[in-house]
Structure 1
């Protein structure tokens, strides 16, 4: 059943709340549970659609999975199936995270090419090259990536780009390889650190997570563990930009502000008052935001996942902003929907120039991915009238209880279905 959000503009958002566990971490941690026989327990898991999807993937590989609130328990058998070529895998991008663990456990894997957000090309060539350096042969056939190895051995690997997914799969494959692996130009995201922290608690020997060089000394076996998922910096950043765009006052706890350093710094330049604490931050905005330029880069640069929020605030800022997208080439399809809302935006290659308007105007818009959907809702919060956001299943994949959380912040938003029955 298709659902949509009705968003009424005009209300400043306020109040405080605790952030959720990170979508971009929990799914990879769940996949890493394949590395150890026994029960791995994850706490602070976000209640998003992708978590039960990953549960389906793990069940298809032979695990038993229990979800109780924000806790997920994964019971991994002594032998797991190397075949992840089924429908659940194709429904979201993070499913490819099982490739590395399956190679470590089984020395072979068949993983359906994943689906997910329509934000541009995300090939698996760096994943394949990394596994081949570790001693595997790989190929793409019949819509799946296939990898096989007699044994895995340590290697020196340098990524062409600090890909998060390739870093994760290489690390999870190398943790049980013979010898030492040195991975250069590795992704530095906090979610990579979270994964490596969990792997080390399972008995892995990983050093350098959070830097561009990660060293992995292979071990013979890992043990199950209990781990708390890191806070979601993208959801927290969304609330920060919601405060700024609506002239509100929002405090978020359960997140390390250093994970959002550049994103919060940009809000200061836009005129917001930003206070940071050890485990949280507060954002207040009085009046219209000022125009600010943004360019997305891998961590610690400005997150590509917050680019739609940057465009939303730039659309109503005082002055001209230039947003440059350096990570995903198709992310600017979101701009078409912003133009529907009255944004003065022009795309030129991987740049978009926005001349801020006093206020946006409501209409029907469509989500193309998780973050674009959230960005459209933020835009709707400062549009005159009621904005209808369609295809909100994308948003549900990345934001727990999105409507309820926005309502608690003071937003006028409700979820309705095509059956005409209102919900929430």
Structure 2
């Protein structure tokens, strides 16, 4: 099984020599957070659904595929194309323990509920960024009529008959919204999710489900699903480019004073990110079918608040913190979703950075010359922030625990090297 080779963690490091301006073309991979729910949803179909542009070098993607295969889903891989159908999912009642390593294993609950089956799932993992509860996932499954119990081993779900329901979240959750969407497409009647997180990834999941035979509509923070008796599948859909990757490379150009362009990408899904980038002195504009970024101008301080889409995603606040370090003056970043997502701050301090965090806010006094340091990737985006800081710090930076970074960035050191960064895998 694919999952059997995924237990070992890498002991490799990234070594960055700061000071190089970045210039040239960056090709984006498919968006991880779009691909993961799409893979789970595709396993609901009776016929093969093929997903193109899947970032197959990401560990989370391979873990999820390994879990689904081990549970009986029929999945075939051809480079960056993944073809999925139900097969005999689930062929056992307990999910493999490796499911605890990724948060998106929670989507197995929605898939199992939709197919009127039972499954015990170990408690999910993912980035350790504060209190990431899964109670809204459980709420959604129960509202649809599934039996859900929690025990020392994890979450047990049994589904016999699902009926559509009105489900209101007390806060917008991306994966929770996706889980209920997957479960409800085969429920009897209509389901309405209020205060849903209708991010671009959620919208693409709806598009995929509709192509497979579902009836789903997404509007501002509301998702409506009209249950069907079957989901046939048998379609081909391309995973959207990684908008989060695009923002990361835009900040890389900004902090190094470089200029890059990203082909086959536009600002449709990152308008608020672009607004802050421009405000901070990083010029972003579209030309033809490409996105151009210039970091040549002076960098300005800014005050940023994360918010549900179309606001700045909580994922991006460590990336913008790096930009604030390169800007003159005092910037603030407040995270209104994950109030404890500032573990990376202690790592950035090792660069001799003037940054502090308390409560849900980070205060950054930027504009000083930073020095290379030995740091650790505390989580996916915090690790990326360490790479970005190393790009404009003086001297050598060594980043450990890079498996966290490689969970969400495909070939990041190769892509940065291709545009002039001095970064090596050691």
With the length of structure 2 as denominator, give the TM-score of the two structures.
0.94
Kept in 2, the 8 Å contact 1:34–1:102? The answer is: no
Query: What is the deviation of 1:277?
Result: 4.8
Paired with 2:215 and 2:231, the residues of 1 have a C-alpha distance of: 10
Query: What is the deviation of 1:278?
Result: 6.8
Kept in 1, the 8 Å contact 2:103–2:126? The answer is: yes
Asked if residue 183 in structure 1 is aligned to residue 166 in structure 2, the reply is: no
Kept in 1, the 8 Å contact 2:116–2:160? The answer is: no
Where does residue 245 of structure 1 map in the other structure?
A: 255
Aligned CA distance change for structure 1 residues 138 and 263 (closer, same or farther; 3 Å): same
Match of 2:314 among 296, 299, 304: 304
Asked if residue 22 in structure 1 is aligned to residue 31 in structure 2, the reply is: yes
Where does residue 325 of structure 1 map in the other structure?
A: 335
Asked if residue 58 in structure 1 is aligned to residue 68 in structure 2, the reply is: yes
Does the residue aligned with 1:299 lie in a helix, a strand or coil?
coil
Paired with 1:79 and 1:6, the residues of 2 have a C-alpha distance of: 43
Deviates more, 1:61-70 or 1:166-175: 61-70
Does the residue aligned with 2:240 lie in a helix, a strand or coil?
coil
Kept in 2, the 8 Å contact 1:82–1:106? The answer is: no
Query: What is the deviation of 1:303?
Result: 1.5
Does the residue aligned with 1:221 lie in a helix, a strand or coil?
coil
Where does residue 345 of structure 1 map in the other structure?
A: 355
Where does residue 16 of structure 2 map in the other structure?
A: 7
Gaps of 5+ in 2: 1-9
Deviates more, 1:297-306 or 1:4-13: 297-306
Where does residue 254 of structure 1 map in the other structure?
A: 264
Query: What is the deviation of 1:321?
Result: 0.2
Where does residue 422 of structure 1 map in the other structure?
A: none
Query: What is the deviation of 1:162?
Result: 0.8
Paired with 2:149 and 2:11, the residues of 1 have a C-alpha distance of: 37
Asked if residue 69 in structure 1 is aligned to residue 72 in structure 2, the reply is: no
Q: Deviations over 1:197-254 (max 9, x none)?
A: 00000000111x2521111000011012221101111011101111111111111133
Does the residue aligned with 1:35 lie in a helix, a strand or coil?
coil
Match of 2:230 among 221, 226, 230: 221
Where does residue 421 of structure 1 map in the other structure?
A: none
Within a 5 Å distance, the mapping from 1:338-377 to structure 2 comes to: 338-377=348-387
Aligned CA distance change for structure 1 residues 343 and 102 (closer, same or farther; 3 Å): same
Kept in 1, the 8 Å contact 2:71–2:89? The answer is: no
Q: Deviations over 1:127-186 (max 9, x none)?
A: 111111111221211231112233000111111111011101111110000001111111
Where does residue 120 of structure 1 map in the other structure?
A: 130
Match of 1:161 among 168, 171, 186: 171
Paired with 1:41 and 1:406, the residues of 2 have a C-alpha distance of: 30
Within a 5 Å distance, the mapping from 1:132-147 to structure 2 comes to: 132-147=142-157
Where does residue 88 of structure 1 map in the other structure?
A: 98
Length, aligned pairs only? 415
Structural RMSD (CA): 1.5
Kept in 1, the 8 Å contact 2:327–2:366? The answer is: yes
Paired with 2:102 and 2:164, the residues of 1 have a C-alpha distance of: 30
Q: Deviations over 1:20-60 (max 9, x none)?
A: 11000101111112211232211011131111111111112
Does the residue aligned with 2:247 lie in a helix, a strand or coil?
helix
Where does residue 316 of structure 1 map in the other structure?
A: 326
Query: What is the deviation of 1:65?
Result: 2.6
Query: What is the deviation of 1:266?
Result: 0.7
Match of 1:40 among 49, 61, 65: 49
Where does residue 105 of structure 1 map in the other structure?
A: 115
Query: What is the deviation of 1:287?
Result: 4.2
Kept in 2, the 8 Å contact 1:107–1:152? The answer is: no
Does the residue aligned with 2:24 lie in a helix, a strand or coil?
strand
Deviates more, 1:154-163 or 1:61-70: 61-70
Paired with 1:210 and 1:68, the residues of 2 have a C-alpha distance of: 34
Kept in 2, the 8 Å contact 1:190–1:210? The answer is: no
Gaps of 5+ in 1: 417-424
Aligned CA distance change for structure 1 residues 329 and 83 (closer, same or farther; 3 Å): farther
Paired with 1:201 and 1:180, the residues of 2 have a C-alpha distance of: 18
Query: What is the deviation of 1:187?
Result: 0.6
